[in-house]
A = this chain, B = another copy of it.
Amino acid sequence: MSNETTTRRRRGSEQPTLRQVADAAGVSPITASRALNAPERVNERTRARVLTAVERLGYVPNLLAGSLASARSRFIAVIVPSLANTVFIEVIQGLQDTFEAQGYQILLGNTDYDTDREYQLIRTFLGWSCSALVTAGLRHSEACRALLANWDKPIMEVMELGEALDLNVGLDHTEAGRCMARHLLGRGHRHILFVGARMHGDYRAGMRYTGHREVLEQAGCDAPLLELDHYGSLDAGAEGLERALTHPGGISAIHFANDDLATGALLHAQRRGLSVPGDMAIAGFNGLPLGQHVTPRLTTIRSPRQHMGQLAAEQVIRRLESKRVPRRQHDVGFELLIGEST
């Protein structure tokens, strides 16, 4: 005797639903729902029955349905320009640790330094009813800003400080550039080359250069800039060193846009038998472990990347929990690490 109804059959997995759990536990679906999502709102004994039924049936909640019904998912959209750069990975780690501990799931998007791609990603992510958005950087396309203007969930911009859409956690890259330039001047250098790679994408390197130039010009020095187009950073650093050696006017120190470039140069100097800082002083940015393991140790600026992710996540969570957290900026600062390379 079949119990097939004559109603239209619908796709639908074989997975047990909350209704079946509820039936098995002898309660209504809504009580079963509460037993799982708001334990304090049901009697302890009832809850135990529901949990037993869940276990026995191997029930897995359909989060799509739950999110649709409640109009909020526990997704956090995280958008970074690249995964190839350790810096973003560390920020993501900080975000992930903190968000996952609170039951949020990260939706990771990668723009490849393309603001149109960012717009597309954000559109998709809005479609998933994300609870919040975290993006690396303050630069967005107009379309993107328009899209976000009508969005009422928290937006967190990390990495640099500035005119933010909502929440903002980062550090002052211009000041970091000034800081290193001052250090190099203090070491007696007057002919300092700034070397970056693909700075159109990595515009924060451009901000550091701005600070660098400002300080050098105030001191009456030139601030030549060399921009490379390499993909492998270590190779680019090596090339940067070569080009500096033949730079018209002579160069005594290189301020690299990051530690990868700087380390590439340092290792290349070793191969070539050049003395650092005797023949050429070398400085970087980021404070990666690698730079502290080479000889001489790299002078660099350490940014608290993982901490930046954590702090950003904490701020977002606070905002999600208690409606009104003031729009605020958090400067996580940086630290000059003086090695023997300058």
Q: Using CB atoms and an 8 Å cutoff, list the residues of chain A in contact with chain B.
A: 11-14, 58, 60-65, 67-68, 70-71, 73, 83-84, 89, 92-93, 96, 100, 105-108, 110, 123-124, 126-129, 147, 150, 232, 234-235, 238, 263-264, 267-268, 270-271, 289-290, 293-295
- Nearest 10 interchain pairs by C-beta: A63-B127, A64-B68, A234-B293, A267-B293, A60-B126, A64-B67, A271-B295, A108-B108, A63-B128, A61-B127
Q: In whole angstroms, what is the CA distance A108 to B62 when docked? A: 18
| A12 cross-chain contacts in B, Cβ below 8 A | 71
On chain B, the residues within 8 Å of A92 by CB distance are 83
For the complex, give the distance between the alpha carbons of A267 and B150 in Å: 53
Please give, as numbers and ranges, the residues of chain B lying within 8 Å of A235 by CB-CB distance.
293
Residues A234 and B62 in contact, CB atoms below 8 Å apart: no
User: Do residues A83 and B96 form an inter-chain contact, with CB atoms below 8 A?
Assistant: yes
Distance A61 CA – B126 CA, assembled complex (angstroms): 9
Distance between Cα atoms of A271 and B65 in the complex (Å): 60
CB distance from A240 to the nearest CB of B (A): 13
Check if A290 sits within 8 Å of B290, measured CB to CB. Answer: yes
Give 21 A-B contacts (CB < 8 Å), ordered by A residue: A11-B70, A62-B129, A63-B127, A64-B64, A64-B67, A64-B68, A64-B128, A65-B68, A83-B89, A83-B92, A83-B93, A89-B89, A96-B108, A105-B124, A107-B107, A108-B108, A234-B290, A263-B293, A264-B293, A267-B294, A290-B290
Contact A127 B11 (CB under 8 A): no
* Extra A-B contacts (10), CB below 8 Å, given A64-B68, A89-B89, A264-B293: A60-B127, A63-B124, A64-B64, A84-B89, A96-B110, A100-B110, A234-B289, A267-B294, A268-B293, A270-B270
Give chain B nearest CB distance to A329 CB in angstroms.
Answer: 27
CA distance A231 to B227 in the complex (A): 35
Name the CB-closest residue of B to A120. B100
Contacts of A270 in B (CB 8 A): 270, 295
A138 to chain B, nearest CB (A): 23
Check A108–B106 contact: CB distance below 8 A. Answer: yes
A133 to B268, CA, bound (A): 43
Q: Which residues of the partner chain B approach A61 to less than 8 Å between Cβ atoms?
A: 127
A58 to B148, CA, bound (A): 11
For the complex, what is the distance from the CA of A73 to the CA of B235, rounded to whole Å? 42
